Structure 1
Amino acid sequence: MGVDAETSKAQLRARIRSERAARAATAPESRGVEAEPAVAESAWALVESLWPDLDLNGRSMLAYAALAGEPDMDPVVDRFLAHGGTVYLPVVTTVGQPLMFGAVTESMATLEPRGRWGIREPSPALSAVDLLAEVAPDIMFVPALGFGPEGARLGNGGGFYDRTFGPQGEVPMEREDRMGWVFGVCFSTELGLPGLAVEAWDLQITSAVTDHGVHSFD
């Protein structure tokens, strides 16, 4: 008997979470995020390539607050803010609903864990529709447990990014006229996950930032 798609995804999630837990256990930071800032360095190098003068006044970013074991984007967020940019983070308000978004007004270290999953979040202020209409982020970093060979994203299973930015979501990311540069974020060992195919509702991403730089999917 073959393994169905959801079972396969569950197995992949379990494997990657175990690997990330082992990584987090050896990390020096108290939150247990990645032991080396290689992914953040790749992401910041990308920012520098887009805006070489680093005058980020009027520029905006959508990022995320890392959970234990996830690639840590805190240094990227703090540097973007220090250079005059504006940063928004996703906020989970209701299970089964699209994400909301809030601005980071100080450093990432000032945010406290909150909600069901203990994610560090600002106060929710904007829906995805409002985020695109009022902010229109210039660059977006989307977390993932990994990606299939063609860019199928493996999320944590809550479906929040699919409901928000997927083809059937609140603001489909495929509408290129409404989106800035969009990059997934994962470790290089989490690329090319076997048996991961894009479903009709799945958020699909064309490039990912890893500890080995930017990877583009075929």
Structure 2
Amino acid sequence: MSCSRSELRTTLRQRRRALSADQQVSAGEMLCDILSARTELTDSQHVAIYIANDGEINPEALRDFLWNAGKQCYLPVIGDSNNLLFIEYLPDTPLVLNRFGIPEPSLQSARLISPEKLDVVFVPLTGFDEAGRRLGMGGGFYDRTFAFTRTVKKPMLIGLAHECQKVESIPVDNWDIAMSGIATDSCYYSV
């Protein structure tokens, strides 16, 4: 693909934003169906999820499944050093808007877990290819936070996306962190 990462990011963000509210709900439910029986989840206790923004595939149905299965969920919060902190996420966790307008738990009443102690991290993405390469939003938050996964296998990083965000090939930079797999509303790509 001859376009730059920023051009590709713009195109793919427009593609996911073009989905209707009904398509978004349906995609989130299909994503949950695909992931709910996978051993990556059934064998895990500490799972990081995110709150969808800007047309990202919505993991609400997956979150509800995890809560009902007795799993501990965590949400990312942008820390002072632009790394992500992970805070326990319960149905009654109060949320505040971060600098990007995305809801996240307040640090005041936070129960933190270190990223190394998470079993699975569901990572939002802008684009992906079948080799498991991920194009994020460009802030590098997940790449910085999980740079340590270059040398250890835990946590599993699983990218979540709409199938329409798949492209032939994602250009890679040396700081990009590889995914363990990518799940969409139509299938799971093992990497």
Same fold (TM over 0.5): yes
1:106 matched to 2:102? The reply is no
Distance in 1, matches of 2:83 and 2:111, equals 11
Match for residue 10 of structure 1 among 6, 9, 17: 6
Q: Which has the higher contact order (CA 8 A, sep 6+)?
A: 2
Q: CA deviation at 1:42?
A: 3.0
Larger Rg, first or second structure (1 or 2): 1
Contact 2:133 2:179 (C-alpha < 8 Å) held by counterparts = yes
Q: Which residue identity lines up with residue 87 of structure 1 in the other structure?
A: C
What is the aligned partner in structure 2 of residue 212 from structure 1? 186
What are the equivalent positions in structure 2 for 1:149-168 lying under 5 Å apart? 149-166=130-147
Q: Which residue identity lines up with residue 213 of structure 1 in the other structure?
A: C
Contact 2:96 2:105 (C-alpha < 8 Å) held by counterparts = no
| Distance change >3 Å, CA 153–CA 126, structure 1 → 2 | farther
What is the aligned partner in structure 1 of residue 72 from structure 2? 86
Contact 1:39 1:209 (C-alpha < 8 Å) held by counterparts = no
Distance in 2, matches of 1:201 and 1:146, equals 16
Q: CA RMSD in A?
A: 2.8
- Which SS does the other structure have where 2:150 is aligned? coil
Q: CA deviation at 1:37?
A: 2.9
User: Percent of aligned positions with the same letter in both sequences?
Assistant: 29
Q: CA deviation at 1:92?
A: 1.4
| Distance change >3 Å, CA 176–CA 126, structure 1 → 2 | farther
What are the equivalent positions in structure 2 for 1:7-156 lying under 5 Å apart? 8-23=4-19, 26-28=20-22, 35-50=24-39, 59-94=45-80, 97-106=82-91, 112-124=95-107, 125=110, 130-132=114-116, 136-156=117-137
Contact 1:40 1:76 (C-alpha < 8 Å) held by counterparts = yes
- Which SS does the other structure have where 2:149 is aligned? coil
Q: Where does the alignment leave 5 or more consecutive residues of structure 1 unmatched?
A: 29-33, 167-171
Question: How many residue pairs get matched?
Answer: 188
CA deviation vs aligned residue, 1:149-184 (integer Å, no higher than 9, x gap): 432211101110111113xxxxx223334x143311
Match for residue 158 of structure 2 among 171, 183, 187: 183
- Which SS does the other structure have where 1:37 is aligned? helix
Q: Which residue identity lines up with residue 174 of structure 2 in the other structure?
A: A
Q: CA deviation at 1:127?
A: 6.8
- Which SS does the other structure have where 2:173 is aligned? coil
Q: Where does the alignment leave 5 or more consecutive residues of structure 2 unmatched?
A: none
- Structure with the bigger percentage of strand: 2
Distance in 1, matches of 2:161 and 2:174, equals 22
